[in-house]
Structure 1
């Protein structure tokens, strides 16, 4: 009897009548609990890697009207760099960055644990956005902040805000 009572108490302690809430907004697409953290974080923010003196930077600003907007700078040798801006479209843990410029460039990336990693294979058209000694292949950026103000901390090649002009309202 004593063993049965202990087992019953242990079993009752393992369950809970309160279920976790899966009430997500329609904008989040009703994703499951395994994607909740990713969905709740959003894209907006500052992502960085590399040296403190010349960090690789990616800034993204979610918009209410259409795809998120981004800007990026990736440094290479002898101050050569890759830089550009455009639209960012997210599908779960996948991210597609499409440069807005004279040459077609669509970069596939993955998002995992607060990091965005560009594909190891960047399309040939993207070389237009890079100096001779710079490459974007496999670049990883860690999220440093998740607000528009954080995104505005990213600097372009001359020290101006990289994502200036981007707003949450598109």
Structure 2
């Protein structure tokens, strides 16, 4: 009888343990919101794991103006390397570094990345620090008109 009670307790604990949490978070995944910059608006990078594929959205602002670099696509992590492949009309693959809770973009980017930027804005050499680690936090990243980047 005692073994049956212990088994019931273990099954109950296992059932409760899976509720509500993001699988990516449990494994120390990328899902979340990363922010940076010191202008009036924060630069934002959101990452969300959906069924084994990590999607991202990115916006970098130019000072007080409305010009920005913005794009979405697929992210792939390999150790400290984070590959951000933009989805759009021009080929842009950013080979960023991820260390702890910080993502740093390289100083030089492929030519096609300029397509995703307005006048006077550079996406290169920006740093984003994790400010939230859930899919809900990632939803706070929005584009120029207020639409979610990781929606």
8 A Cα contact 1:47 1:57, kept in partner: yes
Name the Cα RMSD after superposition: 1.8
1:79 CA displacement: 2.4
1:68 paired with 2:54, answer: yes
TM-score, normalising length: structure 1 = 0.70
TM-score, normalising length: structure 2 = 0.78
Match of 1:97 in 2: 84
Structure 1 or 2: larger strand share?
Answer: 2
SS at match of 1:141: strand
8 A Cα contact 1:103 1:125, kept in partner: yes
Unaligned runs of 5+ in 1: 1-38, 165-170
Ranges of 4+ aligned residues in structure 1 off by more than 4 Å:
none
Q: Report which of the two structures shows the higher radius of gyration computed on alpha carbons.
A: 1
1:40 CA displacement: 3.5
Unaligned runs of 5+ in 2: 1-25
1:52/1:80 CA distance change after superposition, 3 Å: closer
Q: What does the per-residue CA deviation read over 1:113-135, in whole Å, with 9 as the maximum and x for residues that have no partner?
A: 20000111110100000011000
